[in-house]
Structure 1
Amino acid sequence: MSGPVVKGWCPGAYRPMMSGDGLVVRVRPRLARFTGAQVLGLCALAQRHGSGVLDLTNRANIQIRGVAEADHEPLLQELAALSLLDVDPGVESRRNILVQPFWQAGDLTERLTLGLLDLLPDLPALPAKVGFAVDTGPAPLLSEASADFRLERSASGLILRADGSALGRPVTEAEALPALAEMARWFDARRSPDHRRMAQVLENHALPEGWAVEPPLAAAQTPQPGTHPTGALLGAAFGQIDAAELSDLITDDTALRVTPWRLFLLEGAELPTAGSLITTPGDPLLHVDACPGAPLCPQATVETRELARALAGTRTGSLHVSGCAKGCARARPAETTLVGREGTFDLVPGGKASDLPRQTGLTPATLLSGAF
């Protein structure tokens, strides 16, 4: 049997990806924030054109799944009407910007992100998965999230850090974006078809002098669900949100901020007292990553989420249940990784879905019995 097909790109709005249940259309917010009207519009679109759910991605985007090909163009028109679509498809595909989600109006994070949005059309045409992180809150929150160019704070101020380097380049706010553009050109001149991400390029090329001299501040703990100073921080098992349930929590005044941790913030809201959303810290499902699996993904040969839900809390540490060796739900190692292959599971302790397994041919019954 042939291995899974690695696309080399993520779905977007203009360029959706076909899955087992239809097209996957990714919506990229600006400043990690949707207005209340935009959230209500997305919920309605997911119910009208999709499967009725919204997916939170590990790049802090929202996806509408199950879109019929004939519905794609009408969906684009409605996303544009909600101001959620760039006129230029090229700019839309480049807008891979992770933003520290707890920014305040007028602060450094907002200023840098708005400047980066303006800069995007002038940057080189970078590989599809290349992204940026504006992580300039009191302490880094996005260190474990996927990004190639990172703006962070250091003990002395602001740094620009290439992913894969422990140290960054000190910059002032005025220097930050010109320095980022310079780094993007440096990366573009050295990347190759086999080295399309910054960390891969750094395996073969040293950064210029002065670009790796100062460490970022120590990373903060990943936030947990619960009451937040600016609203309610809620979790979604496997990043999946029922659109009808979410719409019941939203008014035109309730903005929503997305994160790469399967959490989202409802500004000014109270914690819901019922429903499927996660509201308490330490919920075992927040330590479990699972892709949609079969039959929703044509690359997968196993169902994933039912097993992942059953195993949540039964293993020490993080658990990743992947439908195939691509490992889309989690790029980094987990304490326990289960990988679907030809209808059964391989076990990779302390590794990624693409790593060599210690055990193969495990059935769901064996896994649920704990005999692994």
Structure 2
Amino acid sequence: MTALPLDLQRGACPALSAPMMTGDGLLARISLIETISPEQLAHICRLALTHGNGMVDISARGNLQVRGLSETSAPHLDADVRAMNLPLREGLAVEVPPLAGMDDSEIADPRPLAEAIRDAARNITGLAPKMAVVVDGVGVLRLSDLLADIRLVAIGKHDWKLLLGGTEQSAYVFNVLRETLVVDTVIDMLKRLAILGNKARGRDLASDLAVNEPTPHTSSSSSGLSRGSASVATVDPSQMLGTSPSMTAGKVAASPFDLFRLSNHRHAVGIGPAFGQAKAEHLIALCGEAARLGIRSLKPALDHSLLFFGTEIAFRALRDFAHDNGFITSVTDPRSHIAACSGSPACNSATIATHEIAAAAAAECADLLDGSFKLHVTGCPKGCAHPQPAALAICGTADRVSLIAQGKAADQPFAFSSFADTNATLRRLADLVGSERRPGENSAACLARIGSDRLAAAATGRS
């Protein structure tokens, strides 16, 4: 893997009161910890029109982002949003699945632990700007594929597995804790990270504690953090979360673009803008229709989605309206299987119009986009839209496009393409997968089996 230049390394992230400069102006992030009403989201969109360029993002982690702000208008957006008294997240990012506490399939409700960690961490300074803690109760919608420095995963009503760094699948399994020990253990880890410096992340902590992922039948009490080990039962990690969608071979993690039956006869439906970005006017229209149908609450959620809460009858009507107006409403929509950053010209680092490439890929290569992987389309090697490895990635460089298999955007490409030939190249790869796919085999498995050499031959028209 090649190291990125300093100006192309992922570092700080924007906030409401600390926006970040991009190609189309300043970008401010609005992070919520509870639901808001359709009317409130519509008002945020009107503020995006007033203070920004009218483009609104929903990030992969479910944060709202207002684009195109100026040095003058950004403080006004900050003040106007705060005047709305929204449930804003302040300080450390402690995240729970979007259906937490409403999902009968959950092993445990993660919200009390998340709130306790968030409160206890308020006075810890010096952490990395992108530091994230995930508390996952293991329901129908998981945060397994999101990167986290510290991850807690329920394995019983009062027992939590603690992992460090990466996604759930790639993280180091550190310990198994009784619920009464979780908050103190996590706070101790955060303090250790602060001591290591503001560039230290979860994997650095694992290294600092000399932790190795335990093998089956190895007691977790051998961990480096004695505070969490004294009253911890021995657990066979091979039995942990054996049915988790993200960790079970051949299964695809649940998508938010679906209709969900929740506790207390409630329902939720997931709807999202293509590639995580929408014009404010379009979101205002969607929120207006939701309010007209009697829908009272919504939440920005993972995978660039909006989850609306209410009745099943209302949702079917809202989904029809959203579909007719260009929103993603189903996991069968190929656009839901593409991770694309904002691209050029919205981002200063980007060299390609990612959304144009992604839209063409969704239209022309739907057979390749079967949900078994995320096609990563990135304007530069930072790979902000999909920082973990992808089965296939398209990355803009200074003078061409690189193609990467089974890796991150900055990894060694298997082939290159001219800007103009990008989608034709992708179509050749899709044709190869279509001709080589075995019965019952998905696209991700087929891409891995074909290998880089044959993908390179197809990409360059030599096969």
TM-score of the aligned structures, taking structure 2 as reference length: 0.71
Asked if the contact 1:231/1:267 (under 8 Å) is kept, the reply is yes
**Aligned to 1:263, which of 277, 300, 305?**
305
Asked if the contact 1:28/1:84 (under 8 Å) is kept, the reply is no
Matches within 5 A, 1:1-372: 4-6=7-9, 8-31=11-34, 33-84=35-86, 92=90, 94-104=91-101, 108-138=109-139, 141-155=142-156, 157-164=158-165, 165-189=171-195, 191-192=196-197, 196-207=200-211, 208-209=224-225, 214=235, 215=237, 216-218=240-242, 219-220=244-245, 221-229=253-261, 230-250=267-287, 251=291, 254-268=296-310, 269-270=314-315, 271-273=318-320, 274-312=324-362, 314=365, 315=368, 317-369=373-425, 370=428, 372=459
Change (3 A) 1:170 1:139: farther
Change (3 A) 1:222 1:25: same
Asked if the contact 2:57/2:276 (under 8 Å) is kept, the reply is yes
State the shift of 1:185 in Å.
Answer: 1.8
Asked if the contact 1:319/1:334 (under 8 Å) is kept, the reply is yes
State the shift of 1:365 in Å.
Answer: 2.1
Change (3 A) 1:116 1:36: farther
Asked if the contact 1:139/1:153 (under 8 Å) is kept, the reply is no
Instruction: Give the residue type in structure 2 aligned to 1:161.
Output: L
Q: Deviations over 1:127-164 (max 9, x none)?
A: 10111112114477112102112222115742251324
Change (3 A) 1:307 1:180: same
1:338 is paired with a residue whose SS is strand
State the shift of 1:7 in Å.
Answer: 5.3
1:248 is paired with a residue whose SS is helix
For 2:308 and 2:301, how far apart are their aligned partners in 1?
A: 12
For 2:422 and 2:74, how far apart are their aligned partners in 1?
A: 42
Change (3 A) 1:12 1:293: same
For 1:246 and 1:153, how far apart are their aligned partners in 2?
A: 35
- The runs of 5 or more residues in structure 1 that have no matched partner are none
Of stretches 46-55 and 150-159 in structure 1, the one that deviates more from structure 2 is 150-159
Change (3 A) 1:121 1:23: same
Change (3 A) 1:245 1:367: closer
State the shift of 1:344 in Å.
Answer: 1.6
Change (3 A) 1:42 1:209: same
Asked if the contact 2:92/2:122 (under 8 Å) is kept, the reply is no
Of stretches 357-366 and 206-215 in structure 1, the one that deviates more from structure 2 is 206-215
Q: Which residue number corresponds to residue 448 of structure 2?
A: none
TM-score of the aligned structures, taking structure 1 as reference length: 0.88
Q: Which residue number corresponds to residue 442 of structure 2?
A: none
For 1:4 and 1:308, how far apart are their aligned partners in 2?
A: 25
For 1:24 and 1:223, how far apart are their aligned partners in 2?
A: 27
Q: Which residue number corresponds to residue 436 of structure 2?
A: none
1:175 is paired with a residue whose SS is helix
1:100 is paired with a residue whose SS is coil
Q: Which residue number corresponds to residue 440 of structure 2?
A: none
Change (3 A) 1:81 1:300: same
2:319 is paired with a residue whose SS is coil
For 1:258 and 1:161, how far apart are their aligned partners in 2?
A: 26
2:377 is paired with a residue whose SS is strand
- RMSD between superposed Cα atoms in Å: 2.8
- The runs of 5 or more residues in structure 2 that have no matched partner are 166-170, 212-223, 246-252, 262-266, 429-457
Greater C-alpha Rg: 2
Instruction: Give the residue type in structure 2 aligned to 1:199.
Output: R
Q: Which has the higher contact order (CA 8 A, sep 6+)?
A: 1
For 2:125 and 2:163, how far apart are their aligned partners in 1?
A: 16
Asked if the contact 2:350/2:380 (under 8 Å) is kept, the reply is yes
Q: Deviations over 1:8-62 (max 9, x none)?
A: 111111111111111100011114x333343122121122222223211122211
Change (3 A) 1:349 1:261: same
Asked if the contact 1:13/1:76 (under 8 Å) is kept, the reply is yes
For 2:390 and 2:407, how far apart are their aligned partners in 1?
A: 6
